[in-house]
DNA sequence: ATTATATGACACCATTCGGTGTCGTGTCAA
DNA sequence: TTGACACGACACCGAATGGTGTCATATAAT
């Protein structure tokens, strides 16, 4: 149930700014056909489609065919992996940690 | 104060598994010279050094020369950008949202 | 029936990426 | 002083990346 066939690394999928913008657009609009997404960018349809394929491979996007158009929908849950990962490091930028780093930097000079 | 000269996108910097492992190693060990980091990987010194340069460009790593070795230290604070970004989407994988998605999928079939 | 639209699939291309090996230099140790 | 060590700076290479254009096909509109 809800299989995570992650052919593609999620970190990799979100590394590209175009793909992050696609994620944002899909978060705002529930379900959007390819041509409508393409209209938001300067690049051609093929390029946008490729980016969406990568997002699909990472499990971040679902698509379904409706008539002649392919509509895309966000599936944000794979982002949980990112959140867990980054949460581990949040202790390293606490205010105490920042002051310690400042002191260390001053020492070095 | 604490300038963020981010020549490199943080999303890009953490996309590579080797670089994430470097971050992890630096989180565990405070300050580590290049040769010691290199010993943890199968690739050569030059490759590890390049990854560290990318992390430096993203502001995730600081280095200083001590004698003949270059020691690296983690600076996790740029990861805050990732945390903020992903936090925005966390509402899309809440349990309620998951149930809604399930219902929508059933409707479509 | 014809035409316009939306898309997938494919070939193609320049650039970037992630690795290698080598050379030169500064530093530490014997 | 000699030799080992740690490193930066290159040149180099194959594969992946991010884009393009084109062609064929299914669907919608006239």
Whole-angstrom Cα distance, residue B16 to residue A109?
32
For residues A79 and B83, the answer to whether their CB atoms sit within 8 Å is: no
Q: CATH number for the B10-78 domain, one of 3.40.50.1580, 2.60.40.10, 1.10.10.10, 1.20.210.10?
A: 1.10.10.10
Mutation pick from B83, B97, B103, B104 vs chain A, by most beta carbons of A within 10 Å, is B83
Model pTM above 0.85: yes
Q: What is the pLDDT of residues B92-106, one digit of tens each?
A: 887 666 666 667 666
Q: What is the pLDDT of residues A34-74, one digit of tens each?
A: 999 999 999 999 999 999 999 999 999 999 999 999 999 99
- Predicted pLDDT of residue A24: 98
For residues A63 and B70, the answer to whether their CB atoms sit within 8 Å is: no
Phi-psi region of A71 (alpha: psi -120 to 50; beta: other; left: phi over 0): beta
| Chain centre to alpha carbon of residue B7 | 15
Whole-angstrom Cα distance, residue A76 to residue A83?
11
| SS3 label, residue B74 | strand
Task: Enumerate the domain spans of chain A.
Answer: 10-82
- Predicted pLDDT of residue B93: 81
* Nucleotide D14 C1' to residue B42 CA (A): 19
Nearest to B11 among A9, A14, A27 (CB): A14
CATH class of residue range A10-82? mainly alpha
Residues 2-31 on B with a CB inside 8 Å of A are: 2, 9, 11-12, 14-15, 17, 20, 23, 27
- Predicted pLDDT of residue A2: 45
When mean pLDDT is compared across A19-33, A86-100, B3-17, the lowest value belongs to A86-100
């Amino acid at each position: 149930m809800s299989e995570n066939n992650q052919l593609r690394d999620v970190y990799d999928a979100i590394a590209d700014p175009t793909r992050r913008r696609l994620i944002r657009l899909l978060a705002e609009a529930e379900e959007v056909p390819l041509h409508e997404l393409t209209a938001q960018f300067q690049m051609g349809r093929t390029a946008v489609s490729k980016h969406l394929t990568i997002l699909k491979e990472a499990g971040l996007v679902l698509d379904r065919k409706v008539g002649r158009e392919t509509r895309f929908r966000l599936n944000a849950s794979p982002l949980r992996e990112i959140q867990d990962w980054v949460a581990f490091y949040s202790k390293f930028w606490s205010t105490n940690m920042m002051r310690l780093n400042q002191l260390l930097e001053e020492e070095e000079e």
